[in-house]
Amino acid sequence: MILASLMFAGMGAFIKLATPDASLSQIVVFRGLPSLILLGAWIALTRRTLFNHNAHLHARRNGFGMFAMWCGFYATQHLPLATATTLNYTSPLFIALILVLFMGRHTRKMEWLAIALGFTGVLLVLRPTLNSDQLHDALMGLLAGMTSAGAYLQIKALGAQGEPEWRTVFFFSFSASASGILACLVLGNRIFPTDPHSLMLLALIGLTGVGGQLAMTRAFSRGSTWMSASLQYSTVVFSAIIGELVWKDPLDPWSVAGMALIVGCGTLSSWVTARRGRSGMESAAPS
């Protein structure tokens, strides 16, 4: 998961670097295209099959994931890198809410406290934008975090069905490329930029994206959900470092406090969710 976090932080940096010369639809195309080509060639050479019985889970995963990706990339283009990344990574807080509100899970006071403090952190991160023209951008980042929660739950469901991570990433990459190409055609944008520098940055977005996606999918589907969800917050740290080094992004004390609350409470929510899952399996196991 650390590798995935580093890759995703790098991808966010390349998105910001490419933004002056590349459209959002072009960025989405290249987010999926390199992995689509590489995985497609590997699938053909190894004679793997794309047919499976989990099409409904892939459809839900891609639906949530695509919406989250468009919103998250938009926020990354317009907000400081660390702020956008933090809002994108509010998904564990929303996962906790989904489990409580829609799946009927009984919740302890400590869990409600973690959720409340986590969303207090969201308000602190949003505070500098509430009276500025960046509020819309910040809300897009928060929406990305909310819909990412649905995508992560579907990734876990696919892993439980024994679905290999390469197939999950391939279908997502195909969906990303297709949606980006469609948007380019509708908006009249070029699919491939003519500037070599822009083309290089877009290719790097795709390569870091596929590396991060493969590592993240494997971590969530095969490893500990809590550990994966906790370690993914290292992306916030990597993004803050990159933002400071490259763009000199300012982080006021309130924003830092908000990020700390989100990271801490998101980690706690992930730990409680994983602990409940293990307890449920233990209680269901034959003695």
Give me the tens of pLDDT residue by residue for the chain, a chain 287 residues long. 788 889 999 999 999 999 999 999 999 999 999 889 988 999 999 999 888 889 999 999 999 999 999 999 999 999 999 889 888 888 877 877 777 776 655 566 666 777 777 788 887 877 766 557 788 999 999 999 999 989 988 988 898 898 888 898 899 999 999 999 999 999 998 999 989 999 999 999 999 988 887 787 777 666 666 566 667 778 888 888 898 889 988 777 877 888 888 777 777 766 665 665 554 433 223 32
Within 8 A by CB and 6+ apart from 270, the residues are 92, 95, 225, 226, 229, 230
What phi, psi does 76 have (nearest 5°)?
-65, -35
Buried b (16+ CB within 10 A) or exposed e, 85-96: bbbbbbbbbbbb
Looking at residue 283, its pLDDT comes to: 28
Looking at residue 274, its pLDDT comes to: 60
Write down the domain spans for the chain. Answer: 2-275
Count of Cβ atoms closer than 10 Å to residue 256 Cβ: 14
Which pTM was predicted? 0.84
> Collapsing DSSP states into helix, strand and coil, what is residue 66?
helix
The Cα 143–Cα 156 span in angstroms is: 21
Within 8 A by CB and 6+ apart from 2, the residues are 231, 234
Residue at 10: amino acid letter: G
Looking at residue 104, its pLDDT comes to: 58
The Cα 167–Cα 176 span in angstroms is: 14
Looking at residue 285, its pLDDT comes to: 30
The Cα 164–Cα 171 span in angstroms is: 12
CA dist 145 to 27, 46, 266, Å?
A: 19, 36, 12
